[in-house]
Chains A and B, each alone.
Chain A
Amino acid sequence: MVKIDRRLLKNFGWTIMILTVAFCAIGLVNLYSASYYSGFSSFKKQFVWMALGFVTMIGVSFLNYNLFNRYALHIYAFSIILLIFVIVLGKEVSGSKSWISLGPITLQPSEFVKISLILVISRFYHNDFEDGPFGIRDLLKPIGFTAVLFILVLIQPDLGTSIMIILISGSMFLFMGVKRNSLLIVIISLIVVAFPAWNFFLKGYQKDRILTFVDPSVDPLGTGYNSIQSQIAIGSGKLTGKGFMSGSQTQLRFIPAQKTDFAFSVLGEEWGFIGSTSTLLLYFLLIIYILDTASSAKDKFSMLTSFGIAALFFWHALINIGMVLGILPVIGIPLLLFSYGGSSVLTSFIAIGIVIGIKMRQKPVPKEKISL
């Protein structure tokens, strides 16, 4: 079925692969430090996940992206099934039913569904329309795709991921063009929906987080504690950092969730401005590379898929690092490829694999090679 075209190797996305690996390496070093006092089981697991992810990425890159186009709806349907499965039979961890337990490993389907959403929206634009801007009526289908995922994730409840879902598909809609009136209607209806959401759907701790963001000193030892401790950690890293495994905030565990959501504060404390800025730049390059892939795309599907994946990385970076730096509310989402967590690692590798696959099919294969 799937023939690996040896000629494609010529155009393999080495740059993005190296960026990804470098980023993973930094994340692993960071995780090593963060888990020093609590045992290395998470470090080992993460290493295995990354290795697995790497292989998956290579595998995915060799799939023709047209397959994703063709099977986008199937993948999307499978995501829905997974999410329903999770809601019914999922494992509850700290109040959210977001995990599927498969023997020793647990998976968080809500991470993967983001990709299926990108694919299904890309397919929609690829097949159904020529040009924008689009009105709400034109976009009923992709809005429906988004809404179903959003609701299924929200009732787990996983506020962070459901916000991600909105941000990613929202970016894609905006990118493809939305009629001004439709945009107004969406904004107004979002505001209208926000009130009942605040009153009925958001749990107490989630409201606290948002309220604390508005004014962190409301509760400096409660929700605001996370944000303040994270800022202390990063700020105290100064220019060069306190050094590997010697961040007091990290090692004395003042930083909350330092392996997962707040992993970046560990980096900031121990490697300082130099370390955190370089890592940010790597992240930046990764996103730019993906956007470049979109820019040189030959068809709408691959262009929009690349754009969606760039949005995925972009929003994760902005929300996570913004939270860690105390300029955005504390919403529990990981920094992709950096935070501990198998599902998010695997998701990131799959996404990058898709991008590599698109990239290496863009350049025309040199003629002399064809003749061979």
Chain B
Amino acid sequence: MQNYKNRLFITTFIVVNVFFILIARLVYLQIIRGDEYEKFSLENRVRLLNVSAPRGNIYDRNGKELVTNRASFDVNVFPNEIEDAELLSKNLSEILGVNRVKIEKKIKEAKRLNFYTPINIERDIDRDTLAVLEARRTELKGISIDVNYLRDYKNGKLASLVLGYLGKPDDEDLRKFDELDTEHFVGKTGIERVLQKQLSGEDGSNYKVIDALGREVKINLFKKNITNKDVVEGNDVVLTIDTGIQKVAEEQLGENAGAIVVMNVNTGEILALVSSPSYDPRDFVKGMDRNIWNKILTDKRFPLLDRATQGTYAPGSIFKIVPALAALRENIIDQDTEFYCPGFYKIGRKRFKCWKRGGHGEMDIREAITQSCDVYFYNVGDKLGIEKLSKYSRIFGFGSDTGFILPEKSGVIPDREWKMQNFHNPWYKGETVVTAIGQGYISVTPLQIAVMISSIANGGYIMKPIIIKKIISGDGNVLKENTPVIKSKLPFSDENMKIVRDALVNAVNGRHGTGRNARIKDQLVAGKTGTAQVVSMKTKSEKYKHEDHAWFTSYFPADQPEISVTVLVEHGGTGGSVAAPIAKAIIQEYIKDKNPDTGLVKNGKD
């Protein structure tokens, strides 16, 4: 047994050492770091705090800020730390100017629901209030002031329908975006909506050690920084919008209802997308104000409708470009074919009038476009027939979506089938000729017109309209860069395209041109006017609704086209008198932008 005695001696030695280590650890914890741990135990409140991710900024094509964030100081309370709910409500009510009973109710509700989750009392308090709150912190046990982000619209109403606004998520939003919770705002419309996932980023969570008064304690309780989840900033979005052009376009449209689309004809990039009337997104920043919201909803001019993409209108005479090219390709006419315009066109016993009562006399295709002769196109339409007319319309993209990222309408290209389905009636010849001058059942969006005119300008390419140039991550990496997308190529010969383009130049610059109001000295603008009759409006109660819609679509420069400008003014009158000058002003702005020497410096360090 002596053998074992030695082993037991060794065992005892091990036991002694182990207890020595344990006691050494006690010395370390209780004697050496005792004071520190005493502090921890006093300040022992660890909280899980949500750290809001800043939403991505939205910039214009030149890097100018359109939408950014600003800090909002929010007052929250932690139900578990409130000692005297009544007193706290009273004090908070004094400082914030919020109803005391309301605060008390909120606290009670929160205590009942979830003891440890903070509830919001007031958002976006001003700096003075913040100072008072901080000064009286000791009387306000249980509150915390958190920084959140609110949208900041640098240019006010500018492009508000494109940018969209944020709001509290509804059931549909919550279903659509799984990371979303009811505390976060979500993009409701526009870019904010379609790029919600890109812009929103991901919230982080932060474990903070907080003392009894709710102040964050800056003691290193844990070995590492205890941020459990880093904030992922939202991605920034660079739009193709040019703030300068957008601004001028909006100013030009003014109080009129209408839409403007400015597009780069070669890339499909949208430089300006205007719809009027619109709303001020700053009204929605803190959530919907019921009064403002009701006013917007009941406004008969629908300020929430983006007319450029979702308004459908008869295109009027600007549509004549389509039957012109169709007839040339189908060899129904050539560049020398002439029709006589006596001021009307007869089908059976029915007379279809030209806008010029006295008639235009002999017209060839160039003159017919230049002077917008209706009778010429009655002839063309009659000879083409509705099948071919609708076929070529669809080639230009009418009747279907353009592929734009924002919600759009596809409009109507009528034909026999369509009429049978919708009216249960056969198609009449007279309806064909009316369609040929862009009246009747046909309806298009300003964006579709912009795509059409751009295809004329760029040599026959139907471009997908693009409004997002780039998406850039918070740390500056380009995540996505949109490049031009050619949707299709028009089937027309260069000669025929040239005939139409010459006519469009003439329409603005010729002596008899209908678009002379868009003429710019020393520059060559090409364009086409349109005046869409408003005849079938169901509500005729309001007088202004009887007035025609004014259209003008154009591109510039005529010889080496860069941009197209499409203007629609609802109930504005004739295209030549109302819409053409607006397009002119926009093109002038574009020229000024491009050649800073000839005009004001636009992109300088102002």
Contacts and interface: CB of A to CB of B under 8 A. Distances in A.
Given A221-B207, A233-B41, A273 B30 contact: yes
A325 B41 contact: no
B37 A217 contact: no
Contact of B38 (A220, A238, A288, A314): A238
A175 to B, nearest CB: 6
Interface string B1-32: 10111011101100110110111011101110
Contact of A273 (B19, B31, B46, B222): B31
A216 B223 contact: yes
B29 A234 contact: yes
B15 A273 contact: no
Interface residues of A, number: 53
A273 B27 contact: yes
Which range holds the interface residue count of chain B? Answer: 35 or more
Contacts, number: 129
B297 interface: no
A276 interface: yes
Contacts of A288: 12, 15
Interface string B272-314: 0000000000000000000000000000000000000000000
Interface string A274-300: 001100110110011001001101100
Given A216-B222, A232-B44, A238 B15 contact: no
A235 B207 contact: no
B27 A322 contact: no
25 contacts: A175-B11, A215-B223, A216-B222, A217-B226, A219-B228, A220-B226, A228-B222, A231-B29, A233-B41, A234-B26, A235-B29, A235-B40, A235-B41, A236-B41, A237-B34, A238-B34, A248-B44, A268-B30, A280-B19, A280-B22, A284-B16, A288-B15, A291-B15, A298-B1, A325-B26
B196 to A, nearest CB: 31
B41 A318 contact: no
Contacts of B19: 280-281, 283-284
A220 B207 contact: yes
From DSSP, what is the main secondary structure of chain B's interface residues? helix
Interface in A294-339: 294-295, 297-298, 303, 307, 310, 314, 317-318, 321-322, 325-327
B33 interface: yes
A249 interface: yes
B605 interface: no
A254 interface: yes
Interface of B: 1, 3-5, 7-9, 11-12, 15-16, 18-19, 21-23, 25-27, 29-31, 33-38, 40-42, 44, 46, 48, 207, 221-224, 226, 228
Contacts of A148: none
Rank and list the top 5 A-B pairs by shortest CB-CB distance, nearest first.
A235-B37, A238-B34, A236-B41, A235-B29, A273-B30
Nearest to B40: A232
Interface of A: 131, 175, 215-217, 219-221, 224-225, 228-229, 231-239, 248-249, 252, 254, 268-269, 272-273, 276-277, 280-281, 283-284, 287-288, 291, 294-295, 297-298, 303, 307, 310, 314, 317-318, 321-322, 325-327
Nearest to A298: B1
B26 A276 contact: yes
A319 to B, nearest CB: 11
B34 A280 contact: no
B12 A235 contact: no
A269 B27 CA distance: 13
A235 B33 contact: yes
Given A277-B23, A284-B15, A237 B222 contact: no
From DSSP, what is the main secondary structure of chain A's interface residues? helix
Contacts of A276: 26, 30
Nearest to B38: A236
Nearest to B46: A221
Given A236-B38, A325-B25, A307 B11 contact: yes
B37 A234 contact: yes
Nearest to A175: B7
Given A131-B3, A252-B44, A291-B8, 20 more contacts: A228-B222, A231-B29, A232-B37, A235-B29, A236-B40, A236-B41, A237-B34, A238-B38, A239-B34, A254-B41, A268-B30, A273-B26, A273-B31, A276-B30, A280-B22, A294-B4, A295-B9, A303-B1, A307-B11, A310-B15
A315 to B, nearest CB: 10
Nearest to A311: B11
Nearest to A325: B25
A281 B15 CA distance: 11
A216 B224 CA distance: 9
